[in-house]
Amino acid sequence: MMNGVLKITLAVSLLAGLAGCGNDSEGAGPFGALAQTAGQIVAERRASGQPAAPAKSPQEAAAEALRVNPGPLIQAGFESLGRTQVMAMTGQNGTLRTFMTPAEEALILRGGMLVGTRGLGHDLSVAEPGTESLIRAGAAGNGTRIMRYFAGDGVERPLQFACTVGAGPRPGVTVESCEGHGTSFQNSYMVQGGQIAVSRQWIGPDLGYVTIQVLRP
């Protein structure tokens, strides 16, 4: 199990390199054990006067999450927020899966493709990637991506981007390059059996990129 986690973590590091070109301890549900474990450790150390333990590395956090949670898990690195978190699946509607932290920050994925966020602020209401079939097939081509955001007046507004999909500079990586509305971004994907196992995807102008790895499908 650990070897699998390390392999995926290395893949995330690869994608990051390409791109360079509050919790309730009694929470229930899929992530309850994660929050409870962390809360118990902190409480025990405070009671005994021991210094707080150093923060876990992403590899250590992934291994701990796999040990205490039997359900689907992802690890998400929010670049603009400077943090990496394990997220457990809390719901499924058809092909859409919602992964959430104990603080109720959520990513909504379809086979690894990011289609929405919740609870992060400046959220992506919904993404409509017309390039999705190209990305899953590892094929080259062009398509339109629509990203919908709620404006300050509460009205949902779509932003449309023209995108080109093609092979990345390294084997196994597919790159989606998009531009429009005075901005541009580049998403990177590693696909296994039609599912996106590792990726770096743009949420929006405020939240920037998130790197997502599947710990357990």
Q: Do 206 and 122 touch, CB atoms closer than 8 A?
A: yes
Residue 65's pLDDT is 75
Sign of CA dihedral 151, 157, 161, 167: positive
H or E element at residue 113: strand 113-118
pTM of the model: 0.77
Alpha helices in 49-162 (DSSP H): 58-68, 132-137
Identity of residue 91: G
Strands (DSSP E) found in 79-123: 83-93, 96-100, 106-110, 113-118
pLDDT at 40 over 80: no
Tokens for 87, please give them: 């997220």
- Spatial separation of the C-alpha atoms in residues 102 and 135, rounded to whole Å: 31
pLDDT in tens, 49-106: 656 556 678 788 788 878 877 899 999 999 999 999 999 999 999 999 999 998 999 9
pLDDT in tens, 161-213: 999 999 998 999 999 999 999 999 999 999 999 999 999 999 999 999 999 99
pLDDT at 21 over 80: no
Lowest mean pLDDT among 28-42, 72-86, 109-123, 137-151: 28-42
Where do the domains of the chain lie, and which CATH numbers do they carry?
A: 2-216 (2.40.360.10)
